[in-house]
Structure 1
Amino acid sequence: MRIGLVGFGFGGQKFHLPYIQAVPDWEIAGVVTRSPQRRAELAAAAAGVPAVDDLDALIDLGVDAVVITTPPQTRRELVLRALARGVHVVADKPFAPDAQVAREMAAAAEQAGRLLTVFHNRRWDTDLRTAAEVLADGAIGTPWRAVNRFDLDEPGTLEVGPAHGLLRDLGSHLVDQMTHLFGPVARVDAHLDLVEVEGHQVDAGFVVALHHASGVHSTVSASKINHLAERELVLWGSQGAYTSRMRDVQTDAILRGEHPATAADWGREQPERWGVLHTADGARPVPSAAGDYAEFYRRLHASVAEGAPLAVLLDEAIHTVEITDAARLSALEGRTVELR
């Protein structure tokens, strides 16, 4: 089946193209980019794949699905146009600036009879996959609490504007990770680190407390301008705890020039950085699971070709936007926000 990329910036190049290439069931039909530099980069990364000027030109090449990787403020228009043209759509995160727009796009997909999903690829992060195995094994008993922290030393990449901010960006991933592990969220408390950039108040950091309907309490946090680069994932349960400080394994490998289609033992952390399980029997390292963002595209193909369930359901993606909406409201009004 044929798939096209709309946009070829850092995300298109590093988080989408290599993982589509790693799934032989997909043929890359073309990429939308007008930049001469991006077109040269495309020729180097995917020889023979044509570059076109816009979404309609891409669809005219003949595609089953398109991936929208352009900036957030362009998301709605491009998703709606692609659905109207009759193709399946993958939207990058943040899915929408608010839940109302997310529901509008979901309704358009239903009306068009086409699949719409969101690239919450960090469900397949190495640390999260390992933590999911710890939970599935019952190693810590009944889960009680979790902390999920992802600090970045990238002040120059903070996006500004009404559709931007770190909460909607990286926060979408961290929230999705926690709902993926512990289920829907009933209420939210949040704090935002607000800074003024180019005349806009934008969140450069956040802490969000999620009260899951399952009874688990999780906290997600991140920063981008504080010159701190660390990851931390901690789980507490009735029989013990699990701690992890694994790196962003797949992204690090991509930036080293490795490729998921050819690298050996893709997506595993080195033993010296494995997480640690703490129980009455003592502390022991837990071998790294294999993270693999290509799984998103394998499952997308199965959904389009065979009618299998999507890896990221629209209701889940909308709930993530509802949570980030609630977090922003909680921070700005200084109160707990309950979700329906």
Structure 2
Amino acid sequence: MQPIRTALCSFGMSGKIFHAPFIHRNPHYQLCAVWERSKKIAADLYPGIISYDNYEAILADPDIDLVVVNTPNITHFDYTKRALLAGKHVVVEKPFTVTVAEAIELEELAVKQDRILSVYQNRRFDSDIRTVRRVIEEGSLGQIVEAEIHYDRYNLVLSPKPHKEIAVQGTGVLYDLGPHVIDQALVLFGMPDALFADITHQRPGSQVDDYFEIIFFYPQLRVRLKSGYVVMEPVPAYAIHGTSGSFLKPRADPQEIKLNAGLLPEDDTWGVEDPASAGLLHTNIDGQPKKLMIRSEAGNYGAFYEGLYDAIQNNIFEDKFVPASAGTNVIRIIEAAYKSRDEKRIIAL
């Protein structure tokens, strides 16, 4: 079967690090084109790739089946809509869009065009969340009553990229790191009944939000999501508490570090954590409290493109496929969080 011929909309960190290696190494895909506005560097790594000067040329190329929209947040809606109208399948980087109305319009357009539309939630395939999910599903924690997910950094320096530091819709940590932890919480626990949010900025001179805390309300469960750029000593990224025990897990997936170092997913060691980063399970075994270090699952960002292939070629939509509706739900949460911040109240969903 002919591979899915794929084009990237940029070759910055997102294209070079998170997309190109996994597309290139998957035999079901052909990385055939990229939109490079100034620097022409993609061909150094992928000889034979076509470098286009503008987006219109990509959309007009009949040989391109799939477009990866990995451009600034505010452009996601326009570029995705144009690609769908051109008859392309589309992968959109997170956040899917900046408003729910835009997200719904794109979902409906994809159905009308009979094209596959997916959101690149690669952190579903981190070693950390895969391990947390396994521990919960195995039942050793009992009924989950409280969970906390962090994505913290320590960086007081403002980004040199203007689109990241200007206070306009679609910028700030809630649109940047927020989609990762929100999506993970929705994967683990589903949509909450209501939420409350605190969103602000803490870095000197920052114009955009760089801190948030969101509380999800479920009938018998509370989930806290937190992210900040002024956290020098991080707490466990995942703290899951149930009627039978607790599980604490640091953020330790090695894939981004390896990709930044120029390493590629070539063998079974890919995505395997340092054993020192194992999670701590404190539970009851035969009526006695026990503390156990839990082996982590291997991370695999390549699984995203495996799920996408099954959706495009085989009309199979299994766990590895990330539908557009998942991206829409994340934006529903973000919009509700800002409303909660502005109105200083719990928002029903």
What is the TM-score of this pair, normalised by structure 1? 0.92
What does 1:83-162 correspond to in 2, within 5 Å? 83-154=84-155, 155-157=157-159, 158-160=164-166, 161-162=168-169
Q: What residue identity is the alignment partner of 2:90?
A: V
Q: 1:75 maps to which residue?
A: 76
Determine if the alignment matches structure 1 residue 28 to structure 2 residue 35: no
CA distance in 2, matches of 1:224, 1:196: 7
User: Aligned to 1:188, what secondary structure does the other structure show?
Assistant: strand
Q: How far did 1:190 drift?
A: 0.6
- In the alignment, the residues of structure 2 paired with residue 298 and residue 259 of structure 1 have an alpha-carbon distance, to the nearest angstrom, of 17
Give the direction of change, closer, same or farther, for the CA distance of 1:318–1:212 in structure 2 (3 Å limit).
farther
Matching of residue 177 in structure 1 with residue 184 in structure 2: yes
Describe the superposition over 1:232-265 as per-residue Cα deviations: whole angstroms up to 9, x where unpaired: 11111111010011324211111222111x1441
1:243 to 245, 248, 268: 248
Cα RMSD, aligned residues only:
1.9
Specify the code of the residue in structure 1 equivalent to 2:176.
D
Contact 1:150 1:230 in 2 (8 A): no
Q: How many residues align?
A: 333
Q: How many Å apart are 1:302 and its aligned residue?
A: 0.8
State the shift of 1:301 in Å.
Answer: 0.7
Q: 1:204 aligns with which of 201, 210, 230?
A: 210
Match for 1:259 among 264, 269, 276? 264
**How far apart in 2 are the matches of 1:97 and 1:243?**
32
- TM-score by length of structure 2 reads 0.90
Deviations 1:88-146 (A, max 9, x none): 11111111111111111112112211111111111111100001110111111121111
State the Cα distance separating 1:266 from its structure 2 match: 1.0
Q: Is the 8 A contact 1:231 1:247 kept in 2?
A: no
Q: Return closer, same or farther for 1:245/1:195 CA change in 2, 3 Å cut-off.
A: closer
Other-structure match for 1:305: 313
C-alpha deviation, 1:21, in angstroms: 2.1
Q: CA deviation at 1:229?
A: 5.8
**Residue 305 of structure 2 corresponds to residue 294 of structure 1:** no
Q: What does the per-residue CA deviation read over 1:271-324, in whole Å, with 9 as the maximum and x for residues that have no partner? A: 111001101241011111011111010110111000011611222221111011
Hey, which bits of structure 1, 4+ residues long, moved more than 4 A? 195-198, 225-231
Tell me the distance in 2 between the aligned counterparts of 1:245 and 1:123: 15
Q: 1:231/1:71 Cα in 2 relative to 1: closer, same or farther (>3 Å)?
A: farther
Give the deviation of 1:186 after TM superposition.
1.4
In the TM superposition, what is the alpha-carbon distance from 1:225 to its structure 2 partner? 4.5
Determine if the alignment matches structure 1 residue 192 to structure 2 residue 196. no
Match of 1:43 in 2: 43
1:315 maps to: 325
Task: Read off the aligned partner of 2:211 and give its amino acid letter.
Answer: G
Q: 8 Å contact 1:274–1:286 — kept in the other structure?
A: yes
* Distance in structure 1 (CA, Å) of the matches to 2:267 and 2:44: 18
Partner of 2:11: 8
Show the 5 A alignment for 1:263-274: 263-274=267-278
SS in 1 for 2:209: strand
The structure-2 alpha-carbon separation of the partners of 1:256 and 1:143, relative to structure 1 and needing over 3 Å to count, comes to same
Classify 1:29/1:197 alpha carbon distance in 2 versus 1 (closer, same or farther; 3 Å).
farther
Give the CA deviation at 1:159: 3.8
3-state SS of 1:151 partner: coil
Aligned to 1:283: 291
Which amino acid in 1 is paired with 2:182?
V
In percent, how many aligned pairs have the same letter?
A: 29
In 2, the alpha carbon distance for the partners of 1:247 and 1:79 equals 32
Q: What is the CA-CA distance between 1:197 and the residue it aligns to? A: 9.1
Q: Which amino acid aligns with 2:328?
A: I
Quote the residue 1:334 is aligned against: 344
Pick one of 3, 13, 17 that aligns with 2:20.
17
CA contact (8 A) 1:246 1:274 kept: no
CA contact (8 A) 1:151 1:228 kept: no
